[in-house]
């Protein structure tokens, strides 16, 4: 499995890894200057999202709490492309840590306003922030609604990406991202304290429910699994007796509706692991960033796919596939020249 996604920036070389992540700072400036962000319209979008069958992004300026555990600083709502389908809540990231002990880069309770900048058509969202805990360490997150010709299957979706840039003076070993997909507000999907019958991963080319995969504690509400070949084997599920014994084929997770008609697929490359929490409820497919020395950066990309069709062909297609190579072969490529200043 190729996890060599770390490189040193070169000011003379355009970075072409297939996504307009760095454009987020330009987009943020443009939108703030020209008043394209309408917090009132975001609230209206949330009220009407259940009646729309198009994917779009929004934030909720009222989603605040004095309780750090309930604060979701980097939260983004994704409207589902189904009639009265509800919405997916993407905590992007929930946590971004380094070191085995889990030192902080970003936390969902960081004391800053929600940083997402959303385009006027609600089809693209991005942010760029500096870590509150680490000077000169920057994180960029990006989400864009796929066009109809971007994916060769009966699915609608979102292209997501994250880049971490270490301009600081210290090495950041074994970076651990937790990107949380909360599905409780998707109509007809499992609710809190579910039994993992509708959460799936892929092991040895088989799509298997988490409920059927052995763990030390079979009654645990927190399960995790590591991607085959990953040098990083931390999932947070170990201490709960929820680590799945066999490794998964790739960082791909699936949640289905209770009637199994609707499915959401989460996929990242390069991939590290997955976790699922039946209490929240949520499911992850988390990317691999490895270790970043001063002056280095790393990136990862993924897809969130909504479908009512068969998922086996999609899973087969995504196995061992790099997202940028897929996008660059399509008419609507995300490939853009980028540079870090």
Residue 336 — pLDDT band, cuts 50, 70, 90? Answer: very low
Mean pLDDT, rounded, for 3-12:
42
Position 116 confidence tier, pLDDT thresholds 50, 70, 90: very high
Closest of 60, 167, 67, 66 to residue 116, by C-alpha: 60
Return the number of other C-beta atoms located less than 10 Å from residue 191's C-beta.
Answer: 11
Nearest to 147 by CA among 237, 69, 79, 54: 54
Closest CA to 298 of 164, 166, 134: 164
Q: What is the pLDDT of residues 203-237, one digit of tens each?
A: 999 999 999 999 999 899 999 999 999 999 888 88
- Among 232, 240, 226, 234, smallest CA distance to 273 is for 226
Of the listed ranges 3-7, 241-245, 334-338, the one predicted with least confidence: 334-338
With pLDDT > 90 as the criterion, what percentage of the chain qualifies? 68
Per-residue pLDDT at 99: 95
Name the nearest CA neighbour of 232 among 199, 284, 274, 266: 274
Question: 4: pLDDT confidence band, cut at 50, 70 and 90?
Answer: very low
The domain limits of the chain are 6-328
pLDDT class of 53 with cuts at 50, 70, 90: confident
Query: Which pLDDT score, from 0 to 100, does residue 240 have?
Result: 87
Q: Average pLDDT in the 133-140 region?
A: 98
Alpha-carbon distances of 57 from 34, 115, 125, 291, rounded to whole Å: 19, 13, 7, 31
- Report the pLDDT averaged over residues 303-316: 96
Does the pLDDT value for residue 247 go beyond 50? Answer: yes
pLDDT for residue 31 is more than 80: no
**pTM of the predicted protein model:** 0.83
pLDDT of residue 173 exceeding 90, the answer is yes
Percent of the chain whose predicted confidence (pLDDT) is above 70? 76
E strand spans, the chain: 6-7, 57-58, 75-79, 87-98, 103-107, 117-118, 124-130, 137-145, 156-166, 176-182, 199-203, 206-209, 222-226, 252-256, 263-269, 271-277, 282-283, 286-287, 297-307
What residues are paired with 165 via a beta bridge? 138, 297
Best-predicted range by mean pLDDT among 34-48, 60-74, 138-152?
A: 138-152
Residue 25 has pLDDT above 80, yes or no: no
The tally of CA atoms less than 13 A away on the side-chain side of residue 331 is 6
Which residues, 6 or more positions from 123, have their beta carbon under 8 angstroms from its beta carbon? 55, 56, 57, 144, 145
Residue 114 φ then ψ, to 5°: -50, 120
User: What span, in angstroms and rounded, lies between the C-alpha atoms of 274 and 73?
Assistant: 22
Average of pLDDT values for 293-315?
96
Confidence of residue 7 (pLDDT cuts 50, 70, 90): very low
Tokens of 181: 């997909």
Question: 175-197, pLDDT tens digit by residue?
Answer: 999 999 999 999 999 999 999 99
Helix, strand, or coil (residue 263) = strand
- Angle, CA 134 vertex, CA 130 and CA 136 arms, to 5°: 55
* Phi/psi at 163 (5° precision): -130, 140
pLDDT-derived band at 30 (thresholds 50, 70, 90) equals very low
């Amino acid at each position: 499995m190729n996890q060599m996604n770390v490189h040193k920036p070169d000011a003379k070389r355009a970075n072409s890894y297939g996504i307009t992540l760095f454009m987020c700072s330009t987009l943020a400036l443009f939108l703030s200057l020209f008043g394209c962000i309408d917090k009132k319209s975001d609230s209206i979008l949330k009220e009407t999202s259940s009646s729309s069958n198009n994917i779009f992004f929004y934030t909720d300026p009222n989603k605040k709490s004095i309780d750090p555990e309930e604060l979701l600083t980097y939260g983004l709502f994704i409207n589902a492309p189904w009639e009265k389908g509800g919405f997916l809540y993407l905590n992007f990231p929930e946590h971004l840590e380094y070191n085995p002990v889990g030192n902080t880069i970003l936390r969902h309770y960081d004391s800053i306003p929600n940083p997402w900048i959303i385009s006027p058509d609600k089809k693209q969202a991005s942010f760029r922030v500096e870590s509150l805990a680490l000077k000169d360490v920057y994180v960029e997150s990006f989400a864009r609604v796929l066009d109809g010709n971007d994916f060769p299957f009966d699915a609608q979706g979102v292209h997501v990406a994250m880049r971490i840039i270490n301009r600081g003076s210290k090495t950041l070993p074994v970076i651990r991202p937790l990107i949380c997909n909360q599905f409780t507000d998707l109509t007809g999907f499992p609710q809190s304290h579910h039994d993992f019958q509708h959460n799936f991963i892929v092991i040895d080319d088989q799509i298997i429910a988490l409920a059927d995969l052995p763990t030390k504690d079979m009654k645990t509400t927190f399960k995790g699994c590591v991607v085959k070949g990953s040098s990083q084997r931390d999932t947070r599920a170990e201490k709960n007796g929820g680590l799945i014994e066999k490794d998964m084929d790739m960082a791909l997770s699936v949640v289905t509706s209770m009637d199994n008609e609707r499915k959401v697929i989460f996929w990242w490359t390069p991939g590290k692991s997955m976790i699922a929490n039946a209490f929240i409820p949520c499911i992850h497919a988390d990317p691999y960033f490895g270790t970043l020395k001063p002056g280095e950066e790393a990136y990862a990309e993924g897809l969130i796919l909504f479908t009512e069709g068969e998922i086996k062909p999609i899973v087969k297609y995504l196995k061992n596939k790099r997202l940028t190579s897929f996008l660059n072969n399509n008419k609507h490529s995300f490939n853009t020249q980028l540079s870090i200043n």
